């Protein structure tokens, strides 16, 4: 268990250093250019919400790990609802144009668009431990990604300081209720008869999910660097 937790922590640090996040933090580039991929945000949040509700959740299970994961999915549903509300407040969840549809279903967003489908295949009928690990990796990567997006979006919108603190707090709350670190889950895992092979398979799954999400992030960066929103670069 400690090895899986350590790997997820290490991979999270590597994920946070991806070139996309340096790009998003670069205030010499107009914020609308940095968020040129914004049409994918709301669909991505909706797909992750569905993954949480319909794949990771397994009603009626008497497995202790799955039972705790089920409870957690309801908290996650609230998070994704808040995420969509925040995108709306920040002007990143607007009506989709024909051009947006071409972008969403174009080859240039293939990895981002197919991310949740691949994750669903990995999680479908997977044992509870693997679902737990998948949920944990999604949480840590979502926190890093949407927090970075939020910071850029607040450069565009004239949002009062108090409101900015509230919006940012939503992502902080996600970090605070991560399921793997919950004392009750730690106790259940320590008491469960989980084989070394099961832990190894979960470890491999964690690395696979980080790899898939990283591919999607690299694709978003490539789009932002090769497409123009016809804005003028800001000069520091």
- Run means of pLDDT, 10 residues per run, the chain, 236 residues: 84 96 94 83 79 89 90 74 66 51 58 87 91 91 86 71 45 54 76 84 94 94 78 44
pLDDT at residue 41, as a whole number: 74
Alpha-carbon dihedral of residues 161, 162, 167, 170, nearest 10 degrees? 140
Rounded alpha-carbon distances, angstroms, from residue 38 to 78, 96, 205, 220: 22, 11, 28, 10
What is the value of pTM for the model shown? 0.81
CA 104 to CA 84: how far, in whole Å?
17
């Amino acid at each position: 268990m400690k090895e899986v937790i350590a790997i997820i922590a290490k991979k999270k640090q590597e994920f946070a250093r991806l070139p996309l996040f340096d790009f998003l933090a670069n205030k010499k580039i107009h914020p609308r250019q940095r968020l040129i991929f914004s049409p994918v945000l709301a669909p991505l949040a909706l797909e992750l919400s569905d993954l949480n509700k319909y794949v990771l959740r397994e009603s009626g299970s008497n497995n202790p790990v799955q039972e705790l994961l089920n409870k957690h999915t309801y908290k996650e549903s609230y998070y994704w609802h808040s995420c969509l509300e925040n995108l709306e407040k920040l002007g990143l969840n607007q009506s989709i144009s024909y051009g947006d549809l071409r972008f969403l279903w174009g080859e240039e967003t293939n990895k981002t668009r197919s991310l949740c489908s691949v994750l669903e295949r990995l999680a479908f009928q997977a044992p509870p431990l693997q679902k737990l690990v998948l949920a944990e990796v999604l949480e840590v990567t979502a926190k890093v990604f949407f927090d970075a997006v939020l910071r850029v979006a607040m450069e565009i919108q004239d949002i009062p300081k108090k409101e900015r603190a509230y919006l940012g707090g939503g992502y902080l709350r996600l970090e605070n209720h991560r399921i793997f670190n919950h004392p009750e889950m730690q106790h259940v895992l320590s008491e469960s008869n989980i084989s070394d092979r099961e832990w190894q398979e979960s470890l491999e799954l964690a690395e696979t999910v980080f790899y898939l999400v990283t591919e999607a992030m690299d694709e978003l960066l490539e789009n932002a660097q090769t497409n123009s929103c016809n804005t003028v670069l800001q000069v520091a």
